[in-house]
Amino acid sequence: MSTRREVIALASGAALAAAAPAAAAEAGGRQGDKVWTATWAAVPTTVPPGPPAVLENETVRHVVHVSAGGDHVRVRLTNEFGEQPLELGEVRIARRAGAGASTRTMPGTDRRVTFGGRTATTIPAGAPLVSDPVRLRVPAGTDLTVSLHLPRRTEVTTLAAFAYQENVVAAGNVTAAPEVTPTSVVSQNLFLSGVSVAGGDGTVVTLGDSITNGANTVANLNHRWPDLLAARLRTTRGNLGVANAGVSGNRLLHDPNPPAGSDAEAYAAFFGQSALRRFDRDVLAQPGARFLVVLLGVNDLGHPGTTAPAGEVVSADDLIAGHRQLIARAHQAGLRACGATVLPFKGDTFGFFSADNERKRSALNHWIRTGGEYDAVADFDAAIRDRTDPLRLEPAYDSGDHLHPNDAGMAVLAAAVPLRFFRQVDR
């Protein structure tokens, strides 16, 4: 079996479709007063310059780890960075059987996904597309498969580059097959950006960078800190969904801007639009959004002079102003916001650390802890720093690059989010 993991990573690096009442009834029935809750999310980005990967008459089968459960599901597809319409021949969803890298479906759970009552659909360039409701009982904390058939030559121009889950590509339209024979493996989410359920208690959106995205965690185990937070919430706060809006390399204040001729030109596009720019799509548009947890700032400090121009250096005051804007926009939309302190990164392998950047990190963290502007604080820094050298990660929680936590460190971060923040509020 060949692998396309390297091929896609190197070669490639709000209008919604509403279901008509009759189509909705046919696809999933009436949901009454039930709240749609985002149970899984992946942030779409564009791809680096150069020829993108191409799919033709192939099926992409994704594995999705849900947080909240429900009795109907919807999927959100995306062509938001495509310059041509995206044609889909068929889309199907099912509960997954097995664990790890398995993409086998559970007998009796396979469902066709429709869009305005139609099986095949086309997503306009630059747009997302939300499906009709699909009747399927989805227990909280379980896995789904979402299979997309791409009948014609399709350039992969919209994806989430770092899934930390092995998805597969197979020949032909095998969306309904219980088990597929992969022709390649991809560790990305292609054209899929969200799954929501009817019946949840609302959504927690985790807005962040690679640490939120799950960098350096073991693939297929769902050990990102938002996954582990979702597991905590299931035992204490009912059926809340967690939508992971983390993007590796993401900055609060700037879009990707690799210096001309630098190695970063081959991958910086995967870093995604700035958090301020993507906030409406990735936070406010999440179904049932009620709570926001923010972990951002380390890349704003570290990228200038490494993967971004030195002229994009920011001050602590710049970062505080950006966080204040996130709080204001969240509060305006009725969300409560929790700020997470930036983790220590002395000795990191990316060249981020300097005495000046440490002073800025300290000032930002002091404001998050004591400014009183966030509704709550998750003190990630205090939870994970080395007690003998507080500017470093605790070695037991260090993935090895001295910036990203390992799986054990991710559990520490999840445990540092105060559960009292998720008290019931009027909707």
Check: CB of residue 364 under 8 Å from CB of residue 320.
yes
Structural domain contains residue 11? yes
139 shares its domain with 210: no
Structural contact between residues 148 and 74, judged by C-beta atoms closer than 8 angstroms: no
d(CA 228, CA 244): 11
Instruction: Supply the mean pLDDT for the chain.
Output: 92
Cβ atoms of 365 and 341 closer than 8 Å: yes
344 located within any domain: yes
Instruction: Domain count for the chain, please give it.
Output: 2
Torsion angle of alpha carbons 25, 29, 30, 36, nearest 10°?
Answer: -110
pLDDT tier for residue 237 given thresholds of 50, 70 and 90? confident
**Domain boundary residue among 197, 224, 240?**
197
Q: Are strands 70-78 and 128-130 parallel, antiparallel or unpaired?
A: antiparallel
Among residues 175, 197, 219, the one where a domain terminates is: 197
Same domain assignment for residues 364 and 249: yes
- Smallest Cα–Cα separation from 165: which of 223, 212, 111? 223
- State the pLDDT at residue 354: 98
Residue 145 lies in a domain: yes
| Structure confidence by residue, pLDDT tens digits, 146-160 | 999 999 999 999 999
Q: Are residues 167 and 213 in the same domain?
A: no
Q: What residue numbers bound the domain in which 278 lies?
A: 201-422
Q: Quick one: 177 and 236 in the same domain?
A: no
Is 328 inside any structural domain? yes
Query: For the whole model, what pTM was predicted?
Result: 0.92
Q: Alpha helix (H) ranges present in 21-166?
A: 21-27
CATH value at residue 385: 3.40.50.1110
Asked if residue 188 and residue 209 are part of one domain, the reply reads no
Give the pLDDT confidence score for residue 14 in this predicted structure: 29
Whether residue 396 is contained in a domain is answered as yes
Domain shared by 388 and 241, yes or no: yes
Same domain, 284 and 227: yes
Q: Which of 2-16, 25-39, 181-195 has the highest mean pLDDT?
A: 181-195
So what's the pLDDT on residue 355?
98
Whether residues 185 and 222 fall in one domain: no
94 beta partners:
145
Question: Per residue in 314-363, pLDDT tens?
Answer: 999 999 999 999 999 999 999 999 999 999 999 999 999 999 999 999 99
Residues 233 and 337 in one domain: yes
CA separation for the pair 291, 293 (Å, rounded)? 7
Q: Is residue 427 part of a domain?
A: no
Residue type, 156: V
Are 80 and 153 part of one and the same domain?
yes
Examine the domain organization and report whether 217 and 229 are in the same domain: yes
Q: Is residue 86 part of a domain?
A: yes
Last residue of a domain, one of 152, 176, 197: 197
111 part of a folded domain: yes
Question: Phi and psi at residue 45, in whole multiples of 5°?
Answer: -135, 170
Beta bridge partners of 295: 208
Query: Are residues 242 and 146 both part of a single domain?
Result: no
Categorize the per-residue pLDDT at 30 as very low, low, confident or very high, splitting at 50, 70 and 90: very low
